[in-house]
Chains A and B, each alone.
Chain A
Amino acid sequence: MFVVYFRDTKINSIRIILIMDGKKELFQKLQQDILLMQGFKPVSSVKAESIGLGEIENSFPGGVFPKKAIHEFITILPEHAAASDGFIAGLVAVLMKNGAACVWVSTSRRLFPASLSLFNVEPERIIFMDVQSEKDVLWITEEALKCEGLAAVVAELNTVSLIESRRLQLAVESSGVTGFILRKDGNKTASTVATARWKISPLPSENEDGMPGLGFPRWQVELLKVRNGNPGSFVLEWAGEKFKEIKKAEKQTVWPDLGARQIV
C-alpha cells in the first residue's frame, strides 16, 4: 500500500491518497489529474498524428509532441543555428501539411529559403519578416502566434525574458500555433516558460559502406528541459524524407545543470 501526498493548489491544502498495490489505473488517473492541474489538456482518445520524431516523442507528456507550445532552441554557434534550422524545417514540414503558412521573424536572418525544400517544406509558403529591432520581433511573434491560420511561427531572438515568454505562451494556448524560438544567448539560467528546450548540434555524418563524401545530416538532439516529461539526448538523422533515429541513447537520463532543469 502506498501513501501519496500532494498539494492541491485549488483548495490549497495537502491531499492524502491511499493507493492499493497494483492499482496502475489509479496511478495513471492521478498522473492525468496532475497534468490537468498544470494546464495540460488531456490527450484525446485517438492518438494524435505523430510528428515523426520516433522515440523522442516519448519524452513528452502523454507521448505526444506538444503542438500548442513554445519550443526553445539554444543556438550559439552558426553550426548550431544551421542544424536547428534543419531540425525545425523537418518539424514545420509536418505542421504545414494541411497547406497552412508559416512565419519566420528575425533581425539578422541568414536562412536560405531555397534550402528548405530539401526538408519537404514549400519555401513560398513561409513569410519572412526581417525587422530592425528585437522589440518588433517580439511584437510580430506575439501577433503571429495569435493568428489561427498559421501552422508555426519561428522567431530568432537574442534573449527572451520570463514575462515575454509567458506572453508568447498565452498567445499559443488560445490559438494552437506552434512556436519555435531560436535563442542566440547561451544563458541557460534565463528561465522561460517554454515547454521544451532543445539544443541541436551537428554530428559527423556516416555513409553506408564507407563511401566517400558526406552522408545525411546527423545531429545530437539534446532535450534539455521538458515540462512534465523526461529530458534526454538522442542521435537523429534527416534521411532525405523523414527523421531517422540512429541509435537509442544510453538508458540513463541526462541531467543537465540545475538551472536548465528549473521549471517555471
Chain B
Amino acid sequence: MQRRFVSIWFRQLLADWQLIRRPELSGVPFVFAAPDHGRMMITGVSSLAFSFGVEVGMRAADAKAICSGLEVLDDKADRPRKLLRGLGEWCVRYSPIVAIDEFGMDGLLLDVSGCTHLWGGERGYLEEIVSRLKSKGYTVRLAIADTPGAAWAVSHYGKITPLIRAGGQVDALLNLSPEALRLEEPTLAKLKKLGFSQIKSFIGMPRSVLRRRFGEGFLLRLAQAIGTENEVLVPLQVAVLFSERLACLEPIKTKVGIEIAINKMLESLCKRMQAEGKGLRTGVLTGYRIDGKVVQVVIGTSGATHCASHLFKLFQLKVDQIRPALGIELFVLDAPKVDDVEMPQEEMWSSRPGLNDQSVIRLLDRVAGKVGQQVIHRYLPVARYWPERTVLNASSVTEKPLSAWRIDKPRPTELLNIPAPIEVMAIIPDHPPKFFIYRGVRHLVAKADGPERIEREWWLDQGEHRDYYQVEDEQGGRYWLFRSGHYDGEQKYKWFIHGFFP
C-alpha cells in the first residue's frame, strides 16, 4: 500500500491552549517565558503579541519594552509534550498511529496509510482535521505527503498546496528553504554561509561531498524527506493485536454479570489466539463505568496459554477488585503480551509429572495472581561454603541446577535466619561445649561432632570465621552450634545456635 503521512503543525500551541483556558485573555497580548541563565526568555507568543514584533527567543524585558501591557506568563518545561500527548490521543480517531513531532515539539505526525478514504479522500480528510481543531481553538497547518519529512516540510514552509501527490515530494521540496529539512542550527548556519537558500541548490550534489561538509545527520534528514530512508514513528498508543470489546445494553453491576462478560470475551479471544498459535502472557481487563471512571485488573501467566478456563480462573481471583459502582457499560479485554504456545503433546504421550506439568504451572499462576509472584520460591544449589549462601532462589520454574546438591557435610533441616546467641560452658578450648542455655533451657550435651570450620567470604563481608559443632543433648535434641572467632585471652568469641537437626 502507498504510505501517506500527515504532519499537523500547531502554530501557537501554548497561546491557543491558554486562550481556550482563559478566554478573557483574547484582547491582551501575552507571552510565555521560562528562566534561562538567570533571565526570562520567551518560549511562546500569542498572535496579538506577535503583531507587535515579539518573537520566541527574546528576553521578556525587551518584549515588555516593545509592547506595553504585555502579560508574561510562566511556562513549564514539559508542558508542550503534555499538550501534544493529549491532542495526539484525541487524533487517534483519524489514524491508529499518531506520534509527537520530537524535532519541533509543536506538532503531530500521523501515519494515515489507508485512512483517508473514510473521510472522502485526502482533501476532505485534511479539511475535517483543520475545521475540527479550529472549532476547538487551535490554529494549525497541515500537509500530506509520502514521507513524514516531506509532510513536515510542507506544513511548516509550503506555500502552494498542502496536498503532495504520491511520488511528488521531491518536486515539492525543491523550492523550500533548508530549514524545512529539520536540520540542526550549526548545519543551517553553514548552508546559509555557502549560499544555499533553497533545497534545489544542493539536492543534486554527490552524497560524498555533502557528507564531508555537513555530516551523516544531514544526509539522513534529506533522505528521510525524499523517501529513500525509512523514518519510524513512535506511536503514542501501541495498538494491541489481541483485543476484545463487549458493549452492554444495560450497565453491568453484579459479580455474576462481570464473570459472564469475562467468559464471553475470553472465549473469542482464545479462539483467535489458538488459530495463530499464540498464548496470553499478560491480560488487561478494562471496564468503562457509566460515571466516566475506568476500572482495570491485570493478570499474568508464567507460560503462554490460550486455555480459556484457566485464564478465567485467574480473572476470577481479581473480580472482587472491580468496583462496578453504578454499572459498567463497556468491557475491553487486551492481551498486550503474547507468546508462541508450545504445543503440548499430552494426547500422544502421557505427560511426565514434574515442574513442567500443566496443572502445576496453572497452580503457580493462580497463586501469583492472588498472593503475588514474590511468595513463590524454588532453590538451586550454589557451590559455596557459607551456609546461608549455599542456596539461591531460582529465576524461573524451568531453571535447572548447575551443580549437584552437597550431601557430604551434615546440614540442619531447620535453619534459623539469624543465629541466636547462647550461653555455653566449654571446659577445653576448641572442644564442644559441656552444656548450653538457649531460651532459658539448659541442654546438657551428651554427644558432639565437629568442629567444622567455615571461613567468611572476605570478598563479600568482613567478620569472624565460624566453628560449627553438631551436638546432641541428653533428651536426644540435635543442634547446630557455632563459635564465632578464635579462642584467645580477650574473650572476643561468641557462641550461637544456628539450626536444628532432625
Residues of A within 8 A of B (CB): 78-79, 81-83, 85-87, 89, 98-101, 103, 110-118, 122-131, 136, 139-140, 143-144, 147-151, 201-205, 212-214, 217-219, 238
Q: How far is the CA of A262 from the CA of B411 in the complex (A)?
A: 38
Q: In this complex, what residue of B is CB-closest to A140?
A: B367
Q: From residue B444, how far is it (CB to closest CB) to chain A in Å?
A: 11
Contacts of B406 in A (CB 8 A): 114, 117
Which of chain B's residues 342-365 have a Cβ closer than 8 Å to chain A? 352-355, 357-360, 362-364
Q: Is the CB of A110 within 8 A of B472?
A: no
B246 sits at the interface (CB 8 A): no
Contacts of A113 in B (CB 8 A): 379, 391
Contacts of B410 in A (CB 8 A): 118
Q: From residue B317, how far is it (CB to closest CB) to chain A in Å?
A: 10
Q: In this complex, what residue of A is CB-closest to B447?
A: A214
Contacts of A150 in B (CB 8 A): 353, 359-360, 363
B307 sits at the interface (CB 8 A): no
Q: Is the CB of A114 within 8 A of B477?
A: no
Q: In this complex, what residue of A is CB-closest to B443?
A: A79
In the complex, given contacts A78-B414, A103-B363, what are 10 additional A-B residue pairs having Cβ atoms less than 8 angstroms apart? A81-B500, A82-B414, A82-B478, A85-B502, A99-B353, A112-B411, A112-B413, A115-B415, A204-B476, A217-B478
Classify the secondary structure of A's interface with B. Answer: mixed
Contacts of A82 in B (CB 8 A): 412-414, 478, 499-502
Q: How far is the CA of A103 from the CA of B361 in the complex (A)?
A: 12
A112-B499 contact given A130-B375, A143-B367, CB 8 Å threshold = yes
Contacts of B415 in A (CB 8 A): 110-112, 115
Q: How far is the CA of A98 from the CA of B360 in the complex (A)?
A: 15
Contacts of A131 in B (CB 8 A): 371, 375
B449 sits at the interface (CB 8 A): yes
A-B contact pairs, 18 of them (CB 8 A): A85-B413, A99-B353, A103-B363, A112-B414, A114-B391, A115-B411, A125-B355, A127-B360, A127-B377, A128-B378, A129-B377, A136-B371, A140-B367, A143-B363, A149-B358, A150-B360, A202-B476, A217-B502
Q: How far is the CA of A101 from the CA of B355 in the complex (A)?
A: 6
Contacts of A123 in B (CB 8 A): 379, 381, 391, 405
Residues of B within 8 A of A (CB): 352-355, 357-360, 362-364, 366-367, 370-371, 375-381, 387, 390-391, 394, 400-401, 405-407, 410-417, 446-449, 470, 472, 474-478, 499-502
Contacts of A103 in B (CB 8 A): 363
Q: In this complex, what residue of A is CB-closest to B450?
A: A213
Contact of A124 among B366, B401, B416 (CB under 8 A): B401
Q: How far is the CA of A89 from the CA of B391 in the complex (A)?
A: 18
Contacts of A122 in B (CB 8 A): 405
Q: How far is the CA of A218 from the CA of B449 in the complex (A)?
A: 16
Q: Is the CB of A99 within 8 A of B447?
A: no
Q: From residue B339, how far is it (CB to closest CB) to chain A in Å?
A: 21
Contacts of B360 in A (CB 8 A): 101, 127, 147, 149-150
Contacts of B476 in A (CB 8 A): 201-205, 218
A139-B370 contact given A81-B414, A128-B379, CB 8 Å threshold = yes
Q: How far is the CA of A111 from the CA of B405 in the complex (A)?
A: 16
Contacts of A140 in B (CB 8 A): 367, 371
A127-B470 contact given A83-B502, A101-B355, CB 8 Å threshold = no
Most buried by B among A83, A131, A149, A205: A149
Contacts of B500 in A (CB 8 A): 78-79, 81-82
Contacts of A87 in B (CB 8 A): 502
Q: Is the CB of A130 within 8 A of B413?
A: no
Q: From residue B401, how far is it (CB to closest CB) to chain A in Å?
A: 5
Contact of B379 among A79, A124, A151, A217 (CB under 8 A): A124
Q: Is the CB of A124 within 8 A of B378?
A: yes
Q: How far is the CA of A238 from the CA of B364 in the complex (A)?
A: 32
Q: From residue B115, how far is it (CB to closest CB) to chain A in Å?
A: 48
Contacts of B414 in A (CB 8 A): 78, 81-82, 85, 110-112
Contacts of A130 in B (CB 8 A): 375, 377
Contact of B502 among A99, A124, A213, A238 (CB under 8 A): A238
Contacts of A212 in B (CB 8 A): 447
